[in-house]
Structure 1
Amino acid sequence: MRSLSKIDNLLLGVDKALRAVVPHSNPSTRPLPVNDDTIPELSITESRHVAGLMRINHTGEVCAQGLYHGQAFSAKDDGVRQAMQQSAEEEVDHLVWCETRLQELGSHPSIFTPLWYGMSFGLGAVAGAISNEFSLGFVAETEAQVSEHLQDHIEQLPVQDQRSRAILAQMDIEELHHRELAINSGGAALSPPVRRTMRWMANRMKATAYHL
């Protein structure tokens, strides 16, 4: 098999970016992690709240795609680059699951999806350029914070919405697995100022994506 040219890699990168920001453009390799196809009955208020939570989670997955793509772009080591690409591919299912649930709720992803992706790609590229250890540490901290808000959202869901609960629970398991892999691969612990900045940025994103 011939190696890919720079143009080939550029086109592949553009394709991945478009698939991250254009809803329903990714095929899922796994079905929704739910026990049955029953759609729970929700009040208008409950439905709007769940849609807001799922929009945040969808945005988080878009950001994860941007982060991993950016880190793969600037990674200093082929092994790290391949690991980032693999993680991005594994999380495509999360993106599809959130899109599917939003559609079931009669809602939509954030209108700022391209912006979230672009910002995350930039952060990932910077992290990858600093060092492999920092890049992997950035992934580990990101996944830890994602797990926190997934668990918070699970607690906020209406009791009868077992469908959304099952989706978020499976996502949480896999996010923590990616965190563990990043740490075991040599990820360095980030300084408190970096962690606080990441949390502040995530909170601004969540507040915006919930509504828009």
Structure 2
Amino acid sequence: MRWGELAALRPRDIDIERRRIQITRSASKRNNTFDLVTPKTWELRSVAVPTSVMTLLVPVVEAARSPSALLWSRPGDGSPLRPPTTTNWFVKAVYRLAQPEKGEDGEYVRDEDDKLVSTTDFPVISAHQLRHTAASLMIRSGAHIKTVQRQLGHKSAAMTLDNYGHLYDDDLDEVASRMDAAITGQTENPSTNPVEIQFDDPRQLDQENEKCP
């Protein structure tokens, strides 16, 4: 989910039993305010939620004052949550858990990719990177590229492949193993073998081959 989609959620958008979140609107910044707008057509979607995550959402949903109220909002004015900044509660929570390394000068140490270095098992991660993490977990779990596209709200599968196609490269060995298992299974079970079509005229075979995409 995008931050704007997250900030616009209401209890009514959460289906606890089916473990789904309906994305029907988004919080969009305009000048110094945030307006609730309708997302683009391809961004309207139903997002599947792991049970472990939904368990954390249940008390938040149940504590909401109204099904149509914001699921979470700014304490001061009740408006949608703003995207995290370096002084935001989200960043402070990440730093508390990751405890980024500091140099002798008291400044945070950065690696060759200009990223902060965690001194614990918890990564120094941004809110937007959590979206990438979700995509990676879906791919690692074997989700089809079209499924990942729909979950992320991308306009096309090509966009999803451009961003995450490299994560599928590691699946090549597994794909080969599955193909081998399928071939072996067909050999051992004749009932699943392809049906051989007989042609009286060899020219018929040529015509059929020309139809293949």
> What TM-score do you get using the length of structure 1 for normalisation?
0.22
Q: Name the structure where helix makes up a greater proportion of residues.
A: 1
Rg bigger for which structure?
2
TM-score (norm 2): 0.22
Higher relative contact order (CA 8 A, sep 6+): 1
